[in-house]
Amino acid sequence: MPIHPIEYRYGSSDMRRIFDRETWLEYMLRVEAALAEAHAAVGNIPREAAEAIVGKASTKFVKLERVNELEALTKHEVVAVVKALAEAVGEPYGGYVHLGATSNDITDTVLALQIREALGIVEKDLVKLAKLVAEMALRYRDTVCLGRTHGVAAVPITFGFKLAVWASELKRHIERLNEVKNRVCVGKLTGAVGTMAGFGDRAFEIQDYAMKILGLKPAEITTQIVPRDLLAELILFLSLVSSTLDKMANEIRNLHRSEIKEVEEAFEEATQVGSSTMPHKRNPIGSEKVCGLAKILRGFAVAALENVVQEHERDLTNSSCERVMIPEVFLLLDEQLKTMHRVLSTLKVYPENMRRNIDATMGLIFSEAVMIALARKGYDRQKAHELLRVSCIEAMRKGTHLKEVLRNTEVSRYLSDRELDELFKPENYLGKAVEITERIAFSTLKFLENLSS
């Protein structure tokens, strides 16, 4: 009976399969088979033994039910797999299974295989999302909206510029992913404390041969386990991606607010319900889910850092933590990425409300534009700032448009009515927003195109 939401609510079937118990066993058997092949290649075991082990190293022959039975007896999952595989191979070759290896030679290498496959899904989703965001940035490059700092109206930007910031961040994550994957996806066959003593004189050849079969690089140096700074880097990276998605979703949630309503998550009017008691409700539930899951992911970053610390050549404190942490982090991020793509691909954008919110500031957001214009006319910049500050206070107190207040100040000696009118048009105070948006969007799309070629 499912208890944890991760069992039935979050994560795609593709990501779930990677961390499924049956898949885990298939990976375990692959690593044991690669080890046997490597031993045979250097002459440590008969070629026939390796062939027999490889031939039975599959869940067609080694059943999870039998592994579970043996684990219940031995209280050791790796020993259970080894015994089950040896049984399937039979005499006389079953005795060569797991020769020279320690448990984490198998489990850490399996973990590298799982992470590599899971990162492949993350990369695919990141690329898909980055492409969507870059294309949206171009679509809305000229759509003027209110820039806000501290939650308060600042100066105009464009909605496309906002999206370009996100596209740039997603592009960096894709670059980081490939760097992380290169470091983290490493296996090991180095034995009980990392010295390779159990593998004999040709230990390096055994490890290199097995890793080549599995498509992994060997870890540079290990104790009984691959150093956990690598897993910490992975979890920190995945948490960083999660935080970017949180940032994007949080912005959508804020712009979705009734009193702002510059964007709105899609709502299935035929069937969707927003509240059990308030029929009018249309809530940004997708974005809220993304923000909520980010809290969980960031929490795992602390656990991953704690796991870097091990007693001597290894203790077991990391193991139980990682069993929970690694599948959950990948499944939750998978859910975030797919949800964010769905939210953005169906997002409703309301340029008319963006203009309404600009107009509602009664010209206050153009105070900087006027100040800069005065300075260019030779007016002292510091005096201009004070003049505008006082004028803004007066405009707010009277509920009057700032432009009308300024017409009755010495500003009129420096700026004509026509010049003043032009300064209060939001499209005239966008700086290089459109150009920057285009630069980022096109470079992101080019980067993604090069990835696929």
Reported as a single tens digit per residue, the pLDDT across 314-373 is 998 999 999 999 999 999 999 999 999 999 999 999 999 999 999 999 999 999 999 999
- Cα-based angle 13, 78, 92 (whole degrees, multiple of 5): 115
Topology (CATH) of 364-423? Ribonucleotide Reductase Protein R1; domain 1 (1.10.40)
**pLDDT at residue 250, as a whole number:** 98
Instruction: Judge whether 150 counts as a catalytic residue.
Output: yes
DSSP 407: T
Topology (CATH) of 103-357? Fumarase C; Chain A, domain 2 (1.20.200)
3-state helix, strand, coil in the chain (%, to 5): 65, 5, 30
- Residues carrying CATH 1.10.275.10, the chain: 5-96
Element (H, E) at 147: strand 144-149
Looking at the DSSP assignment, which residues form a beta bridge with residue 349? 263
SS3 145: strand
Q: Which of 255, 245, 259 is nearest to 284 (CA)?
A: 255
Angle between helices 103-139 and 433-452 in degrees, nearest 10: 140
- Residues carrying CATH 1.10.40.30, the chain: 364-423
Active-site residue, from 4, 76, 275, 345: 275
The ranges of the chain with pLDDT < 70 are: none
What global pTM score does this model have? Answer: 0.95
CATH class of the 5-96 domain in this structure? mainly alpha
**pLDDT at residue 306, as a whole number:** 94
Q: Which residues contact 78 (CB under 8 A, 6 or more apart)?
A: 28, 103, 106, 107
Active-site residue, from 13, 150, 416, 452: 150
- R_g of the chain, CA atoms, integer Å: 30
DSSP for 254-307, please give it: HHHSTTT-SEE----TTT--S-SS-TT----HHHHHHHHHHHHHHHHHHHHHHT
